[in-house]
Amino acid sequence: MAVAAVQGLQYVVPLLLLPLVAGWLGLLEFGRLFWLVSAFALVNAASGFGLEWSGTRSLGASGNASWGSTVASLLRLRLTVTVVGLLLLWVLLSLDDGLRADEWGLMLLLSVDSLASSLYPNYAFFAAGQAARAARTQLEGRLVLAAVVGGAVLWGRFDVLTYPLGMALGSGWVALRSARWLRGQPGWTGYSAATWSAVRERAREGLPFFGITLLSLGYTTANVLVVEAWSTPPELGYFTAASKLVVALNSIFIGAVGSVLFRDRLAASGGDAVGAVHRSALIAVGVLGLVIGAGLFAGAEIIVRAYYGVDFAPAAASLRWLAWIPLCVGLSNVVGVQGLAALHRERWLYVPVLLALGVSLWGNVMWTSTYGAVGASAAWLMAEFALLAVSALLYRRLSQS
């Protein structure tokens, strides 16, 4: 539970910073900032999630003898994927004639954040049995971000570059702290231990989750980009405000609570009680998700006004749709990502993820250009519900067989 508490705090910090950012930047600049942040978050997610699953599995099977070379190869793989992703993103963004001078500075800071994030070996901490240290290190990075934002607010010098600067400095701090920890490990043999043959092996191993992650970004993080392209600047601000609030709550819910309810309990059981762990996790996640969803739905207008201010009030309509995202994501995380992975059937996740992507594309085509933020929110919720329904059916069938 101590690990979960620290993990929860690292997600709470950005949640507390959002009102400060929104208050200083205003509706339009707030939406514009997090449009760019979301674009770079695509690179971070693509280089992180699937490869971390690969790393956890590789390190669990490799033993102490190859711990250092396995970690080094995963770090090189993540860095390679990040560099390629950033190059592609810069080429695509450079085609936008509407980019302002300060947004080029934003892109530079967000690129530094992505590169530093790719050097954080979360899987190595867990493999070494130091999950608490990993959580504390990440929390330190969040506190650096909070210090930058808080300092700028106190001095009255907050601008559009402040939050990305805090992100870059926070991620850089985490990367440096992680490198220092790695150097102190007896099994660490240095970055030179990463051969390209080992990198290719890690890439093949992580390919299933890497592909699934890329596809899932199409109906999650990329929604902000869709609203920016198909709607108006105010609608982008409303959608960004509602989605950032829900994503932050969802990160606390899944990152902290979900890890304790499933991953840690499953590890403690030695994998012998998968069914019992799943049932208890589903019940707990379902109840918590319903409570969060009902609270957000019922109090959407009050929450938005109190959190962001009167100018953001129309975002309440989007929040009512997105209120049920934590419930859907929490349940699908248990039966889908974690459940099918526990059965070593993670490749089956392509089926619900492709369906969810299709539902999202259809919903955005039908609704976003007409209804703006509300249409995009409805499309996202429908996609998550489709993912949950098909993941549950697959898990039920595969676990029985």
Which pLDDT score is estimated for 268? 56
Which pLDDT score is estimated for 226? 93
Question: Contact at 8 Å (CB) between 359 and 382?
Answer: yes
Q: Integer distance in angstroms from the first to the last C-alpha of the chain?
A: 33
Angle, helix 315-322 to helix 373-400, in steps of 10 degrees: 10
Which pLDDT score is estimated for 143? 94
CA dist 126 → 24, 64, 71, 99, 263 (Å): 38, 13, 12, 41, 11
| pTM, to two decimals | 0.88
Joined together, the tokens standing for residue 216 give 């899932």
Residue with tokens 């711990």: 67
- DSSP result, 27-48: HHHHHHHHHHHHHHHHHHHHHH
Write out residues in the chain with pLDDT < 70, as ranges: 1-9, 49-65, 253-275, 277, 401
Amino acid (one-letter) located at 132: A
The distance of Cα 151 from the centroid of its chain, to the nearest Å, equals 26
What are the tens digits of pLDDT across the range 335-372? 877 777 777 787 888 899 999 999 999 999 999 999 99
Which pLDDT score is estimated for 377? 97
What are the tens digits of pLDDT across the range 116-133? 999 888 777 877 778 778
Dihedral sign, Cα of residue 313, residue 302, residue 304, residue 144: positive
Which pLDDT score is estimated for 395? 85
Which pLDDT score is estimated for 82? 93
- Cα R_g (the chain), whole angstroms: 21
Which pLDDT score is estimated for 211? 84
